């Protein structure tokens, strides 16, 4: 059905109905209405009230003395007083073509019949409910209407469209799921961003506890958090008791390196900062390897400041020296601090607080959280790597929430952030009951990024009927911005489409696409790629919602985020 409106075509019937004295105002209103339409662009919508109807001709008021005379084509039968919404398809100088939007179905006689058959009152709320259910392809019968009406009454602040969409996706209607669903729709769902916020929220909570005099409570909470991050870590090998003091282990078969004057214990080499590496024995073609230095805890400038703070806080010299000489990594340092917080003979609390609240130590803590909670791109392809990430996240978030509930009462930024992460993971798992979807929080060249993989699937078959499979990878990166990659696989043919908002970013990818193509060729695939500039980012939730009501799209990977 289409509605066409023609410039300066004044139907005599309307003039007679309105009265001859109103003919001039009618003409002026029609002129104003056409001017308003011509001031819009195709794709925009207009809404108006039906003033008169004669056969298939209608007169619509768009307000402020703006009238639109139109001829109906099709079966639509609007009533006087009904509000109609249309999308502009064409608005040339002498002809306007409008298409009715779905909103008009709210006044469809079938809506009234459905409500009457269910014995429900017809009002704005129930009409909107039926409209939303029809739009989502849900059954409209007495039972389904009563069920949706109960959901509306239980969630009066929630948009009915949200409830209908969640019902269609078989998502449980809970406050947590509603919050996550709307966050996904509004593009406020990025898991990586929430994970990054936890470190800041944690230090804020610690400062609030100690600042309000709850010193022991704050220290206990800090100890619990460090214990969660370093769980399973044994005695740090770089500590004095591990490598520096245990020279006697040489007599017990400890690892030693051949030297000019006999075997040299590894502990001696580490104690001397690697300078005690002995010469290889005569006749040896290759020297035995010396222990590889640890990755620095922090860049040099920050590391020097951290070493000073460790000394000031009364941290044992063996730990300070190991950190200064890069013989202790971040987990080991945090493990040592956690042990000190557990000891009864605690160092100077005030100075230790200065250490824990220093910018450098916060960086150490945040870096370790990022290491455990974000993935490097090269790790994503490793088998079960994503599963293991979510196993760790789920376990640690539950433990953090438990420790927080036992220590801090009330609604705090940290509690909200942890709850949001846990809710996001749980919601993602529920999405995976119907779709194959996962977020991948990434760490790329020292910067955080967020990835989303949506594989078009009905969870029952691996491919469409034609044998093809397809997926969407969405990345949000600091320098490239939003990147959408659509991948389709048919037999051994791989086609990709790269969508970016910036021409220079598209050029960068196009210049390096051969790296991807060559790797695919090595695996027996032939590849082709397109590069497209477009405004705006893809909302993956909208991709899911826009799928056919009987979801029929690709599968390739699924997991249980709660595992």
The answer to whether residues 527 and 409 belong to one domain is: no
Cα–Cα distance for residue pair 133/121, rounded to 1 Å:
17
CA distances (Å), origin 318, targets 129, 243, 315, 328 = 69, 10, 8, 10
Q: Which of 417, 449, 465 is the last residue of a domain?
A: 417
3-state secondary structure (DSSP) of residue 147? helix
- Average pLDDT on 480-488 reads 85
Mean pLDDT (the chain, rounded): 76
Which residue's entry shows tokens 């730990």?
319
Greatest mean pLDDT among 129-138, 209-218, 337-346 lies in 129-138
Q: Which of 384, 417, 450 is the last residue of a domain?
A: 417
Q: Which two tokens stand for residue 124?
A: 């704005």
**pLDDT category, 374, cuts 50, 70, 90?**
very high
Domain co-membership, 326 together with 449: no
Q: Inform me whether the pLDDT recorded for 246 exceeds 50.
A: no
72 and 135 share a domain? no
Taking the mean position of all CA atoms in its chain, how far away is CA 53?
50
Hey, how many other C-beta atoms are within 10 angstroms of the C-beta on 381?
8
**Which helix H or strand E contains 23, and what residues bound it?**
helix 23-38
Residue pointed to by tokens 């009987």 = 550
Q: Is residue 297 domain-shared with residue 382, that is, in the same domain?
A: yes
Q: Is residue 308 part of a domain?
A: yes
Determine the Cα–Cα distance for residues 418 and 400; give it in Å rounded to an integer.
Answer: 8
Q: What is the mean pLDDT of residues 276-281?
A: 38
| Same domain, yes or no: 393 and 300 | yes
Sign of CA dihedral 548, 441, 164, 433: positive
CB 56 within 8 A of CB 71: yes
Task: Give backbone dihedrals phi and psi of 91, rounded to 5 degrees, phi first.
Answer: -145, 65
The parent domain of residue 536 ranges over 432-563
Residues 411 and 453 in one domain: no
Residue 282 lies in a domain: no
Q: Tell me which of 106, 137, 157 is where a domain ends.
A: 106
Tell me: do 163 and 14 sit in the same domain: no
> Does 285 map to a domain?
no
Same structural domain, 436 and 536 = yes
Between these two residues, 102 and 33, which has the higher pLDDT value? Answer: 33
Q: Residue length, the chain?
A: 563
pTM, two decimal places: 0.65
The highest-confidence range among 267-271, 339-343, 366-370, by mean pLDDT, is 366-370
Confidence bin at 281 (pLDDT 50/70/90): very low
Does residue 55 belong to any structural domain of this protein? yes
Check residue 365 and give its pLDDT: 94
- Identify how many contiguous H helices and E strands the chain contains and give both numbers: 20, 14
Q: Which range has the worst mean pLDDT, 5-14, 219-228, 301-310?
A: 5-14
Closest by alpha carbon to 134, among 107, 111, 100, 159? 111
Whether 332 maps to a domain, the answer reads yes
Closest to 356 measured CA to CA, from 193, 230, 204: 204
Among the ranges given (25-39, 290-304, 397-411), the one the predictor scored with the smallest mean pLDDT: 290-304
* Angstrom distances, CA of residue 383 to CA of 75, 441, 494: 57, 17, 22
Does some domain include residue 258? no
User: Which has the closest alpha carbon to 257: 247, 266, 248?
Assistant: 266
**Dihedral sign computed on CA atoms, order 249, 250, 254, 256:** positive
pLDDT at 161: 92
**What average pLDDT does the segment 439-466 reach?**
73
| pLDDT for res 405 | 86
Distance CA 489, CA 329 (A): 43
CA distance 237 to 49: 79
Highest mean pLDDT among 78-87, 329-338, 403-412, 538-547: 329-338
Asked whether residue 259 is domain-assigned, the answer is no
Position 146 in a domain: yes
- Judge if 162 and 133 occupy the same domain: yes
Task: Please give the pLDDT value at position 60.
Answer: 86
CA–CA separation, 265 vs 307, rounded Å? Answer: 27
Domain count, the chain: 4
- Same domain as 311, residue 199: yes
pLDDT value at residue 241? 39
**pLDDT score at 234:** 52
Dihedral of CA atoms 226, 368, 235, 348 in degrees, nearest 10, equals -50
Per-residue model confidence as pLDDT tens digits over 61-75:
887 788 888 776 555
Residue 457 has pLDDT above 70, yes or no: no
Interstrand relation of 526-533 and 493-500 (parallel, antiparallel or unpaired): parallel
Strand 83-91 and strand 95-100: the pairing is antiparallel
- Verify that 92 and 159 share a domain, yes or no: no
> Is residue 206 domain-shared with residue 297, that is, in the same domain?
yes
According to DSSP, the β-strands at 262-265 and 57-61 are unpaired
């Amino acid at each position: 059905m289409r509605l066409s409106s023609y410039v300066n075509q004044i139907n005599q019937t309307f003039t007679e109905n309105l009265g001859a004295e109103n003919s001039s105002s009618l003409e002026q209103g029609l002129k104003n209405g056409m001017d308003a339409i011509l001031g819009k662009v195709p794709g925009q919508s207009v809404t108006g009230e039906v003033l008169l109807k004669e056969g298939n001709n209608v007169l619509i008021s768009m307000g402020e003395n703006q009238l639109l005379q139109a001829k109906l084509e099709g079966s639509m039968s609007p009533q006087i007083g009904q509000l109609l919404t249309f999308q502009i398809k064409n608005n040339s100088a002498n002809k306007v073509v409008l298409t009715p939007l779905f909103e008009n179905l709210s006044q469809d006689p079938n809506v009234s019949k459905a409500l009457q058959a269910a014995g429900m009152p017809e009002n704005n709320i129930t009409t909107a409910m039926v409209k939303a259910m029809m739009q989502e392809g849900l059954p409209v019968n007495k039972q389904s209407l009563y069920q949706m009406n109960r959901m509306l009454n239980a969630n009066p602040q929630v948009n009915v469209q949200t409830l209908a969409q969640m019902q269609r996706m078989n998502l449980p209607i809970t406050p947590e799921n509603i919050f996550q669903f709307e966050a996904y729709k509004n593009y406020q769902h990025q898991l990586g961003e929430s994970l990054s916020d936890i470190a800041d929220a944690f230090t804020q909570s610690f400062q609030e506890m100690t600042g309000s005099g709850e010193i022991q409570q704050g220290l206990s909470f800090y100890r619990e958090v460090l214990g969660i991050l370093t769980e399973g870590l044994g005695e740090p090998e770089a500590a004095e008791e591990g490598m520096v003091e245990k020279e006697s282990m040489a007599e017990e078969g400890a690892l030693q390196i051949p030297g000019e004057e006999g075997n040299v214990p590894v502990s001696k080499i580490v104690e001397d900062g690697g300078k005690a590496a002995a010469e290889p024995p005569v006749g040896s073609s290759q020297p035995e390897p010396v222990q590889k230095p640890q990755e620095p805890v922090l860049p040099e400038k920050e590391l020097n400041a951290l070493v000073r703070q460790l000394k000031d806080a009364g941290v044992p010299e063996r730990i300070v020296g190991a950190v200064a000489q890069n013989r202790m990594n971040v987990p080991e340092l945090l493990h040592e601090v956690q042990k000190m917080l557990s000891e009864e003979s605690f160092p100077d609390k005030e100075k230790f607080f200065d250490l824990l609240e220093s910018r450098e130590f916060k960086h150490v803590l945040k870096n370790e959280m990022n290491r455990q909670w974000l993935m490097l791109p090269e790790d994503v392809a490793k088998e079960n790597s994503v599963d293991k990430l979510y196993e760790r996240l789920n376990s640690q978030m539950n433990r953090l929430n438990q420790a927080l509930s036992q220590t801090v009462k009330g609604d705090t930024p940290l509690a909200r952030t942890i709850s949001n992460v846990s809710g996001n993971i749980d919601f993602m798992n529920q999405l995976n009951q119907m779709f194959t979807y996962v977020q991948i929080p990434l760490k790329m060249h020292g910067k955080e990024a967020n990835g989303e993989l949506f594989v078009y699937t009905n969870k029952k078959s691996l491919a469409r009927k034609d044998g093809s499979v397809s997926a969407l990878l969405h990345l949000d990166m600091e320098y490239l911005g939003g990147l959408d990659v659509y991948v389709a696989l048919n037999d051994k043919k791989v086609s990709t489409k790269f969508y970016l908002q910036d021409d220079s970013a598209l050029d960068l990818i196009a210049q390096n696409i051969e790296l991807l193509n060559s790797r695919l060729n090595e695996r027996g695939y032939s590849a082709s790629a397109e590069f497209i500039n477009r405004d705006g980012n893809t909302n993956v939730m909208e991709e899911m919602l826009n799928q056919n009501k009987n979801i029929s799209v690709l599968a390739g990977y699924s997991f249980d985020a709660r595992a």
